[in-house]
Amino acid sequence: MKILVLSNLYPPFQLGGYETACKNTVEGLRQRGHSVHVLTSPSHYPGENDPPYVQRTLTLRNFHSAQINGHHGVLRRFESSLSNITNTVVFTELITKLRPDCIYFWNLIGIGGMGLLDAANRLEIPWVFHLMDDVPAAMRRGMGLPALSLFHAAHGEIYRQGRIIAMSQNLLNEIKRLSGITFTGHLEIIPGWVDTNRPVMTRSYQAGNITRFVNAGTMDNKKGVDLILNAAQRLTGNGLTKFQIDLYGPGNISHYIDHCKAVGLADHVRFHGPQPQQNLLSIYEKADAFLFPTWEREPFGFAPVEAASMGCLPVITATCGIAERLVHGVHCLKIERTTEGLLQAMTDIMTGRIDLANLGMCCQKITRQDLSFKTCLDQIEKILAGAAVPFRDRRIQLWKETALTLMKHNLAAQYFLQQSDQIP
């Protein structure tokens, strides 16, 4: 298959699992012999130069910290979510040159995603949209019905022509709750994954009678760092002090370090900042449990899967995305997302009420089966093959495509700016 992948970001510039998963999938598909071309935005993160199949010519209107206010800020929001003339034209031109069998959309926030979907529909190129976040809801947020109507997106009709992959039912529920959109066409759920060739291993737990908890992700309240620290404080208050918590990832680390000092947790909690994925796997191998009291709207979570692959038992919010795939007491511990819920699970682990060796084995096994990259890539490949059709020869007049893009963009921008609440 000849596949054109679109993603707002592409490593080395990445915010989390979405971008890593995109890159893994691209490389996996290429290894299977498919011709895959990536269209994305520039990366300013340290890293190797891109391979020739990665084209960074999209303009990104989000994810940079510089605050731009006033009309420019409002328009950036519009260009981020709804339509970006340059990006749509670049995309359209690339389609005519590359002649893909299928377009594979990833995160479209920041690059005018609605305009890109609209162009794919207009040119009748089959597409698959891989959702690892509430992108359809985010793209329409605050845009207003008139502007959305121009893209047939007032009620999500724009998605009828494509195939949707969502990483959890929880994510689909979230999108419906936030936007009212339900996908009525082809829809499949493919979970998060881990790519490991390593066989299931027998490993030791709680070496030196110390329980090692770990977490990797953004250091903020929604990911559950506050809950972890509160539970840790309660553990020490209950006289359970033989534990260590290692936290990996970016975020408001100084705030949390100060907090730990203030509440007497400095000897128990360490912040390490972001780590490469490969380093994290080694860390998980030596850790006993992965604390993941994330917010309930969490679409899935790659980190607990990766931890599970190394026998590091996931302790997860019972209603988040990954909870759909793991069985409590078999592959994980599911908790109510409260300090008490997390405290109970941590206490059970520390006091030996949980058979870590047994559960650790089970969670390793599932990551070699349902949650393995190979299994997921098989499914992705099948969906792409089901969607793909050879590029049909027809005369696409680029000037007309550009004129239509321009008119729709400008008309939508007018509608958007006419909404009184958009005027600063």
Minimum distance from CB of 422 to other proteins (Å)? 12
Q: Find the length of the chain.
A: 424
Burial grade of 193 (CB within 10 A; 0-12, 13-18, 19 or more): buried
Q: Which of 212, 325, 337, 408 binds other proteins (CB under 8 A)?
A: 408
Rule CB under 8 A: say whether 407 interacts with other proteins: yes
Q: Which of 19, 79, 101, 118 binds other proteins (CB under 8 A)?
A: 118
Rule CB under 8 A: say whether 410 interacts with other proteins: yes
Minimum distance from CB of 236 to other proteins (Å)? 57
Name the H helices within 145-198.
Answer: 145-149, 169-179
Number of residues near other proteins (by CB under 8 A) = 27
Q: Which of residues 338-397 bind other proteins (CB under 8 A)?
A: 392-395
Triad 267, 341, 190: Cα angle to 5°: 100
Rule CB under 8 A: say whether 12 interacts with other proteins: no
Q: Which of 121, 179, 211, 294 binds other proteins (CB under 8 A)?
A: 121
Cβ proximity to other proteins, 44 vs 392, nearer residue = 392
Minimum distance from CB of 118 to other proteins (Å)? 7
Instruction: Specify the pairing of strand 2-6 against strand 35-39.
Output: parallel
φ and ψ at 74, to 5 degrees?
A: -65, -45
Cβ proximity to other proteins, 385 vs 407, nearer residue = 407
- 12: preceding bond cis by omega (within 30 degrees): yes
Minimum distance from CB of 7 to other proteins (Å)? 24
Cβ proximity to other proteins, 140 vs 331, nearer residue = 140
Q: Which of 178, 318, 411, 417 binds other proteins (CB under 8 A)?
A: 411
Whether the CA torsion 210, 193, 175, 43 is positive or negative: it is: positive
**Alpha-carbon distance 370 to 330, whole Å?**
15
Cβ proximity to other proteins, 40 vs 121, nearer residue = 121
Assigned token pair, 41: 């935005």
Assigned token pair, 419: 């909404």
Alpha-carbon distances of 279 from 11, 170, 284, 306, 345, rounded to whole Å: 17, 29, 9, 11, 26
Q: Which stretch binds other proteins (CB under 8 A): 88-96, 224-232, 244-252, 404-412?
A: 404-412
Q: Which of residues 146-185 bind other proteins (CB under 8 A)?
A: 146, 148-150, 152, 154-155, 157
Cβ proximity to other proteins, 78 vs 284, nearer residue = 78
Cβ proximity to other proteins, 15 vs 411, nearer residue = 411
Cβ burial 399-415 (10 Å sphere, 16+ → b, else e): eebeeebeebbeebbeb
Reported as type and span, the H/E element at residue 4 is strand 2-6
Q: Which stretch binds other proteins (CB under 8 A): 54-62, 92-100, 198-206, 405-413?
A: 405-413
In contact, 296 and 319? CB cutoff 8 Å: yes
Cβ proximity to other proteins, 330 vs 407, nearer residue = 407
Q: Which of residues 126-145 bind other proteins (CB under 8 A)?
A: 145
Among all chains, which residue has been given the structure tokens 């559960």?
359
What amino acid occupies position 52? P
Cβ proximity to other proteins, 44 vs 395, nearer residue = 395
Assigned token pair, 31: 């290894």
Rule CB under 8 A: say whether 2 interacts with other proteins: no
Q: Residue 250: which of 275, 269, 267, 230 has the closest Cα?
A: 275
Minimum distance from CB of 121 to other proteins (Å)? 7
Rule CB under 8 A: say whether 414 interacts with other proteins: yes
In contact, 287 and 315? CB cutoff 8 Å: no
Q: Which stretch binds other proteins (CB under 8 A): 180-188, 240-248, 282-290, 408-416?
A: 408-416
Q: Which stretch binds other proteins (CB under 8 A): 48-56, 195-203, 321-329, 411-419?
A: 411-419
In contact, 1 and 128? CB cutoff 8 Å: no
Alpha-carbon distances of 353 from 187, 231, 357, rounded to whole Å: 41, 18, 12
Minimum distance from CB of 176 to other proteins (Å)? 18
**Alpha-carbon distance 68 to 295, whole Å?**
29
Question: Site residues (CB under 8 A) for other proteins?
Answer: 118, 121-122, 145-146, 148-150, 152, 154-155, 157, 392-395, 400, 403-404, 406-408, 410-411, 414-415, 418
